């Protein structure tokens, strides 16, 4: 519904549909924390298996937020939602964010920057540092990660998939990222019910009334179970300056120091 009518993205109507979307959930007593202006705006295609996806330039997104989305959210009573720009791969940093936030009006509506992990292997994490230094008042949220392989019984328990998640989270949190989220929480043995068939941390066997916790589940749990919301990442150094381990440290709201360490 929202995506289908998104083809008129430069018109006020798309912003109106966004608030109607939130209204519908509000009627069911479901509230939201935030939203992004567009998922993967650099991926412009219209393939039936992918439903619809709109393409934006940074300039278009900048102007649409300033002239339509931001004011409409305010009028609709959703001005307190955390609005994110980009929501795409970090290869677009920092130029995309600079273009969007150079407009003071747009800047006032945007709270954070959304990132995906799919080009991390070909980009240096220093571009996240650079972006943070340019806009230290904006949070950085890894909003999507997914192992883009078809789930099969042969891939159950694949430890390398878990390490992929671990590598991403350690790198993200050591470079000013505030939050990290998986794409799929649970899927069935065919990779559904979505049309993509990709992997997930939990695989559900509905016919057998059981589920399988995969390595990514445990890698994520090392963070989610011990690093509560509101924790702050703190510097961690080794005595000899070199370590074979990946590590990150946090100070929790209860003033407890938590370290997460991975031996690859």
- Active-site residues: which are they? 40, 144
CA distance 32 to 248: 30
Q: Residues with Cβ < 8 Å from 57, sequence gap 6 or more?
A: none
Please, what sign has the CA dihedral across residues 99, 62, 176, 264? negative
CA distance 67 to 76: 15
Measured N-to-C along each axis, helices 159-173 and 215-224 cross at an angle, to the nearest 10 degrees, of 30
Alpha carbons within 13 angstroms on the beta-carbon side of residue 10 total: 7
For residue 113, the Cα-to-chain-centroid distance in whole angstroms is 9
Place of tokens 């298996």: 49
CA distance 76 to 65: 15
CA distance 131 to 129: 5
Q: Which of 43, 62, 46, 60 is nearest to 4 (CA)?
A: 46
The CA angle 196-202-206, to the nearest 5 degrees, is 85
The answer to whether 170 and 117 have CB atoms below 8 angstroms apart is: no
Which helix (H) or strand (E) is 173 found in, with range? helix 159-173
């Amino acid at each position: 519904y929202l995506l289908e009518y998104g083809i008129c993205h430069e018109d006020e109507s798309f912003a109106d549909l966004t608030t109607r979307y939130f209204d519908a959930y509000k009627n069911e007593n479901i509230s939201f924390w935030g939203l992004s202006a567009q998922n993967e705006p650099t991926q412009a295609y219209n393939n039936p298996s992918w439903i619809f996806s709109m393409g934006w330039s940074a300039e278009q997104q900048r102007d649409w937020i300033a002239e339509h989305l931001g004011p409409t959210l305010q009028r609709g009573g959703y001005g307190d939602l955390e609005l994110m720009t980009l929501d795409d791969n970090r290869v677009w940093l920092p130029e995309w964010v600079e273009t969007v936030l150079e407009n003071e009006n747009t800047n006032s509506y945007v709270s954070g920057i959304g990132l995906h992990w799919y080009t991390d292997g070909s980009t240096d994490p220093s571009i996240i540092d650079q972006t943070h230094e340019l806009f230290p008042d904006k949070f950085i949220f890894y909003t999507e990660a997914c192992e883009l392989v078809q789930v099969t019984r042969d891939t159950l328990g694949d430890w390398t998939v878990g390490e992929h998640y671990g590598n991403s989270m350690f790198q993200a949190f050591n470079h000013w990222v505030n939050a990290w989220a998986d794409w799929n929480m649970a899927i069935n043995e065919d990779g559904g019910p979505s049309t993509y068939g990709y992997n997930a941390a939990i695989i559900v066997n509905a016919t057998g009334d059981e589920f399988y916790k995969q390595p990514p589940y445990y890698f994520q749990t090392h963070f989610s179970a011990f690093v509560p919301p509101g924790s702050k990442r703190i510097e961690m150094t080794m005595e000899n300056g070199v370590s074979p381990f990946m590590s990150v440290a946090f100070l929790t709201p209860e003033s407890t120091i938590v370290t997460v360490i991975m031996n690859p």
